[in-house]
Structure 1
Amino acid sequence: MDTKRSDVLILGGGVIGLACALSLLKAGASVRVLEQGTAGCGSSHGNCGTITPSHAPPLAMPGMIGVALRSILKSDAPLYLNPRFDGPRLRWLFGFARRCNWRDFNHAAAARLAILQRSRQLLGELVHDEKLDCEFAEDGVLYAYRTAKKQAVDEQHHAAVLDGLGIEVQRLRGEDVEAMEPALTPGVVGGLFHPGDARLRPDRYVAELAQRVVALGGVIETGARIDDFTTSEDRITQVVTSRGAFQGDTVLLALGAWSPLLAKKLDLRLPMQPGKGYSLTYARPSLAPRHALVLREASVCVTTWQSGYRLGSTMEFSGYAEGINRTRLNALRRGAAEGLREPEGPELLEEWWGWRPMSVDELPIIGRSARWSNLLLATGHGMLGVSMSTGTGELVTGMLGGPASPIDALPYAPARFGL
């Protein structure tokens, strides 16, 4: 038996690659995962772990271009565009700008909602059935406001959209919010509560997925940096890595933000950019929020688990520039200090940054490649990789002969970009 061949060879051991691996193994396929670092070391490690059907509305909407342009000169803005020239990033931004209209907004919102709601259901079932130890809690996400102006804007452009999509959102008065969350400092004017959202600890979720993959007979090759591909006619015959060459009847590209870099070697131009996010992880403070929170004026996400406490969010478009931007971390600290009685825990455990895989139309790219007959893609999930993980796994499994997903895969197809 060829020990380096499998039915499905998955490139990427993040939350999407592992969720696909687990789903495929349950459907009877043999699976090998190639990961350049360790399982879950990418953007699924340090995010805030919220599971958010409420994030169905995309960023691209009328008026967003002005917000983006104003952020160029503000390095601590929640959305920051590094002003240096970068050809691929500029092309991506022009493509994003073209989609800042209501027709594309409504299309993206409906497609995002379908996979978010399906994933939300499947994730709850998976945690229950597999008894995943990831601190999963189905207690909603609360947006807290300190200015009536910001709340009015969100009620018009966020809550009203969710109403139209059939997603429950509760409008709350300031005193109601402060009663729900004693961890907030006084001065809250109102809130929006999303009861259908949930939270988990993402690094533990990914670790649990990896454990289940191995338990079911899957193989995870860590430290396997992908260097090149061998092809013949319209097929990928080998994936060449720092740990040797591997074969798969099907190759699944699930490399997150690294996907465009590797796809170039296959003459594919993925319309994606890395969107850099940051987080600070602490030991749990004595007065910790009861719910996952978003402090809206500062755009700071706050998540509490029994095992810890995290401040996160921000979106920085600086290409593939590595490392921590201290200005961004300080903005998280300031925003938390304005909104919380105990904004930081007693011990700082980790300062983190990671690249989110942002597709130009804010929809994941899931499906068969038109260029390579045995290539599937599962990438471009943006800030919603954890939230969309189980739904993506189901879609990919259905495309490879397993049980079909009840949602329409067409909106996510690579063919929309000629891939």
Structure 2
Amino acid sequence: MPDHSRPSPEIADEVLVLGGGVAGLACAQALAEAGQAVRVLERDRIGAATSLGNCGTLTPSHALPLAAPGMVGTALRWMFTPDAPFLVRPRWDPELWHWMLRFAARCNPGTFARAIAPKAALLTASMDLLDDLVKRRGLDCGYRRDGLTYVYRDLAAFKAAVSEHLRLTAHGIEVQVWDGETAQADEPCLRPGVVGALHFPGDGHLRPERYTAELARLVREDGGVVEEGVAVRRLQRAAGGWYLESADGRCWTARELLVAAGPWARRLLAPLGLRLPLVPGKGYSITTARPAQAPRRPLVLKERSVCITAWDDGFRLGSTMEFAGYDARLTRARLDALERGAREGLREPIGPGRREEWFGWRPMTWDDLPVLGAAPGHPGLWLAVGHGMMGMGMSAVTGRLLADLMLGRDPVVDPAPYRLERFASR
């Protein structure tokens, strides 16, 4: 019997994509290019949430898992240090502490080593796919693939990092080990005192807000629709597909629903009985005009965990990880830590004209891999969530993989490591 309590849908589509950040737009782009009738529904503005203020780095170099041996001890030492690079704010939050226990259980050498391959597979495939998309469709997003450099001022930390990161070469990721003199010759913007650096020539970067805008342009060019300001309050199975209703009473139906709602996905899908192992990890950035002595390519000042990206028309300091729930405060201590770290490492640590101070919630899973693929027990429901800090770097492969799975094509990478079912037995 039909449900007469629901308003009639305004428009029926083949695929509804819920979320207009980089993951949702990449999926919509791949589906629209393949000829699907796609509609993107974004709660705010396109690319304005987690995708907006990050450093825009594209990093196979980051294939080492966040859950590394020794991380638990480090996190405990930093728990009461407000400007620590990795901060867990102590409070009553059962979901966070369950997540943390699972994360802590992975901080051992065996699990760490096994976790590199699936993360590296996504990051390396995505670089090649993005490179092709930029050239083939003429994306104007400041894209460059000229490397990224980790910079060290502590000799013991540098030696440990060399041993750790050379593991990446077994996964097709080139690592160059530089002494301090080589690093400072390559980047004259660095202050004296560098003891060594790791350079990753296969990494790249882009301007994130321009990239998401360009993905939205391609969706529209290929016949898709992108709607902003749609706060979804209800989603459920309907005859032959899915039904969505917004807070202002609009509604949509589609044959298939793809949820790419970042840190909000857990709450959206909970009424369906789906438990996503997601918590929000808060990152910060400061954006200014480009300084006179800017880095030639992105840098990470490793002891302070500060990432620096310079574009032709801007400059950004970013990073840090804060587990504080959905705390919407822009914490001054976290922003000051970015600038202080940059002052230790750069001759000119910040540019003129501070344009923006920003934070965003990253959708973090405790195994540091996204959830990609069909939602078990819910026909026609697909997931592209949990990219953590790697949304930009994994966007192109996320879009291609979801399109492959939804259209019954051979998948671009093995989808098994990214299925939601992997959490059922853990």
The equivalent of 2:84 in structure 1 is 77
The letter of the residue matching 2:81 is K
The equivalent of 1:366 in structure 2 is 372
Report SS of the residue matched to 2:90.
coil
Deviation at 1:405, TM superposition (A): 2.7
The equivalent of 1:401 in structure 2 is 407
Distance 1:241 1:63 in 2: 45
The correspondence of residues 170-185 of structure 1 with structure 2, limited to 5 A, is: 170-185=176-191
Q: Is the 8 A contact 2:285 2:316 kept in 1?
A: yes
Q: Is the 8 A contact 1:50 1:200 kept in 2?
A: yes
The correspondence of residues 189-338 of structure 1 with structure 2, limited to 5 A, is: 189-231=195-237, 237-243=242-248, 244-338=250-344
Find runs of 4+ consecutive structure 1 residues off by over 6 angstroms: none
The correspondence of residues 350-361 of structure 1 with structure 2, limited to 5 A, is: 350-361=356-367
The equivalent of 1:133 in structure 2 is 140
The equivalent of 2:117 in structure 1 is 110
Q: Is the 8 A contact 1:236 1:372 kept in 2?
A: no
Q: Is the 8 A contact 2:256 2:381 kept in 1?
A: yes
Q: Is the 8 A contact 1:230 1:240 kept in 2?
A: no
RMSD of aligned residue pairs (Cα, Å): 1.6
Deviation at 1:360, TM superposition (A): 1.4
- Provide TM-score, normalisation by structure 1: 0.97
**Structure 1 unaligned spans of 5+:** none
The correspondence of residues 5-154 of structure 1 with structure 2, limited to 5 A, is: 5-154=12-161
Q: Is the 8 A contact 1:397 1:404 kept in 2?
A: no
Distance 2:408 2:46 in 1: 25
Deviation at 1:104, TM superposition (A): 2.5
Deviation at 1:108, TM superposition (A): 2.1
Deviation at 1:107, TM superposition (A): 2.9
The letter of the residue matching 1:238 is Y
The letter of the residue matching 1:376 is W
Distance 2:48 2:381 in 1: 24
Deviation at 1:418, TM superposition (A): 3.9
Q: Is the 8 A contact 2:236 2:272 kept in 1?
A: no
The equivalent of 2:3 in structure 1 is none
The letter of the residue matching 1:117 is T
Distance 1:2 1:59 in 2: 43
Which of 387, 390, 397 is residue 384 of structure 1 equivalent to? 390
Report SS of the residue matched to 2:46.
coil
Report SS of the residue matched to 2:115.
helix
Distance 2:19 2:60 in 1: 25
Q: Is the 8 A contact 1:370 1:418 kept in 2?
A: no
Q: Is the 8 A contact 2:151 2:197 kept in 1?
A: yes
Distance of aligned partners of 1:28 and 1:3 in 2 relative to their CA distance in 1, 3 Å threshold: farther
Deviation at 1:404, TM superposition (A): 2.7
The letter of the residue matching 1:230 is Q
Distance 1:103 1:144 in 2: 27
Deviation at 1:90, TM superposition (A): 0.5
Distance 1:251 1:328 in 2: 37
The letter of the residue matching 2:101 is F
Deviation at 1:155, TM superposition (A): 1.4
Q: Is the 8 A contact 2:26 2:215 kept in 1?
A: yes
Deviation at 1:413, TM superposition (A): 0.7
Report SS of the residue matched to 1:45.
coil
Q: Is the 8 A contact 2:16 2:38 kept in 1?
A: yes
Distance 1:397 1:103 in 2: 33
Distance 2:413 2:16 in 1: 25
Report SS of the residue matched to 2:389.
helix
**Structure 2 unaligned spans of 5+:** 1-7
Distance 2:32 2:148 in 1: 32
Which of 346, 358, 369 is residue 352 of structure 2 equivalent to? 346
Q: Is the 8 A contact 1:394 1:404 kept in 2?
A: no
Which of 411, 415, 418 is residue 421 of structure 2 equivalent to? 415
Distance 1:169 1:355 in 2: 30
Report SS of the residue matched to 1:290.
coil
Report SS of the residue matched to 1:135.
coil
The correspondence of residues 153-172 of structure 1 with structure 2, limited to 5 A, is: 153-157=160-164, 159-172=165-178
Report SS of the residue matched to 1:172.
strand
The letter of the residue matching 1:227 is R
Distance 1:211 1:337 in 2: 38
Q: When the two structures are aligned, how many residues end up with a matched partner?
A: 417
Deviation at 1:125, TM superposition (A): 0.7
- Provide TM-score, normalisation by structure 2: 0.95
Report SS of the residue matched to 1:358.
strand
The letter of the residue matching 2:233 is D
The letter of the residue matching 2:285 is S
Distance 2:52 2:310 in 1: 15
